[in-house]
Amino acid sequence: MMFTAPQATADRKAFYQRIDGENLAPLWEVLGELVPPTPRTPCVPALWRYSAVRKHLLESGTLITAKEAERRVLVLENPALRGAASITHTLYAGLQLILPGEIAPSHRHSQSALRFVVEGDGAYTAVDGERTTMHPGDFIITPSWTYHDHGNPSDVPVIWLDGLDIPIVAFLDAGFAERYPDEVQPVAKPEGDALARYGANLLPVNHKRTSLTTPIFSYPYTRTREALERIRRDEAWHPCHGLKMQYINPSSGGPAMPTIGAFIQLLPKAFDGRPYRSTDGTVYCAVEGRGRTRVGDATFEWEPKDVFVAPSWLPVTHQTDEDSVLFSFSDRPVQQALGLWRERVS
C-alpha cells in the first residue's frame, strides 16, 4: 500500500499557509513519507579499510593524548549521515586507540557501550572495580551508568572498535555523563571474577538482577572461537549466516545488552550465501578470513579488521574465499522489545 498526497489546489495551499503560523501542518501531505510501505533509510552501505583508518588513528596519537581527548576515537560516519556521528540511525561506531603508558580517564554515562578488540594485547578495560586484559577478538561491555576506564601498560598500541547506542539515547533526550573523581577507579575485584561467577552456566545462589545488561562484561575470543569450532562439527550451515551465534546475558537468556545485539558468525571456505534482509541495520567487523559481502547494490571485498555497515532492509549476501569469522552488532534488541523487528530470507 502506498499513500500519496492529494492534489494541491489553490484553496488547499491557502489553507496550509494560514495554519502554518499556528505550528500546524496537514498530515495528508506527508503521510506517504511518515508511513512508507517498506523501511526507508537515508543510511547507505559503506566500508572502512582498516589499513587506511589505522594510519590516521596512529597519526592522531601524535596530535592529542588519550587524557586530553577523553577518548581518542575516529568516528565511522555513515556517508549519508555526515556530521551526525552515526553509522546507522540508531548506532554509533568508532575506532579507539590507546598508546603504551596511556590512561583514558574513568567516567560513566547513560549510553551503553561495547568494545571489540581489533589489534594489540595487554591493555585493559576496568568496569565497576574489575579489570579485564584486552586481546584481539574479545567482546567487552561497559554497561549504562557504570564507571569505566582504559589503560595500556603494554609496549604496543591497542585498538578496538567502539559501538554505542548514542543516537538512541539522544533521541530519547536521556543522556547523562559524569567523571570519576580520580583518573583511575580503584580495583576492588580480581580479574576474571565476573566470568567465573556467571560464565559457566552457573549463577550465585543469591544473585539478583539489578541491570538489563549481562553481569559478564568480557567475553574472551578464545572461548568464543572454540565454541564455533566445536559446533561446526555437527551443525548444518544456515544458507544465509553460516554458523551465527549471539552473545547473551546468562542471567536472563536475552541479549547481552538491552539496546545493542552482538553476534559472531563462522563462514566456511567457499561459502556462497543466500540474500538476507532484516530491519536492524548492522555493523560488521571482519575477524578472520577474506571474502566479499553484497549489501544492496554495493559489493565490499573485506579482510581482517575491515568494518562495513549494512543499512536496514537492504539484502545482504556473504561469500568467502577461506574460513572466515565476522563480528557484528545492531539495534535488534530494541526492535524486538517493541515488536518491530522483521527478517526475510530471499
How far apart CA 91 and CA 56 sit, in angstroms, is 22
Alpha-carbon torsion angle 182, 187, 193, 198, nearest 10: -20
How far apart CA 253 and CA 247 sit, in angstroms, is 10
Q: Measuring CA to CA, which residue among 154, 162, 149 is closest to residue 73?
A: 162
Q: How many CB atoms lie within 10 A of CB 164?
A: 21
How far apart CA 102 and CA 72 sit, in angstroms, is 11
Q: Give the three cell numbers for residue 85.
A: 556521528
Output the pLDDT for position 132: 98
Which pTM value belongs to this model?
0.96
* Cα angle, residue 60 at apex, residues 154 and 51 outer, rounded to 5°: 80
Q: Please, which residues bridge with residue 318 across strands?
A: 293
Q: Mean pLDDT, 10 residues at a time, over the chain (346 residues)?
A: 86 97 96 93 97 98 96 98 97 98 97 98 97 98 98 98 98 98 96 94 90 96 97 92 97 96 98 98 98 98 98 98 98 98 95
Question: How far is residue 48 from each of residues 51, 99, 284, 340, measured CA to CA in Å?
Answer: 9, 22, 10, 29
Tell me the residue length of the chain. Answer: 346
| Cβ 113 vs Cβ 163: under 8 Å | yes
Name 65's Cβ contacts closer than 8 Å, sequence gap at least 6. 72, 102
Output the pLDDT for position 1: 66
CA 183 from chain centre, in angstroms, equals 26
Alpha-carbon torsion angle 295, 84, 107, 191, nearest 10: 10
Q: Measuring CA to CA, which residue among 305, 282, 308, 326 is closest to residue 54?
A: 305
Q: Please, which residues bridge with residue 278 across strands?
A: 343
Residue 299 three-state SS: strand
| Cβ 217 vs Cβ 132: under 8 Å | yes
Query: Among all chains, which residue has been given the C-alpha cell 543469591?
Result: 206
Query: Among all chains, which residue has been given the C-alpha cell 544465509?
Result: 240
Q: Measuring CA to CA, which residue among 8, 30, 95 is closest to residue 58?
A: 95
Instruction: State the DSSP H helix or E strand holding residue 232, giving kind and residue range, or none if neither.
Output: helix 221-232
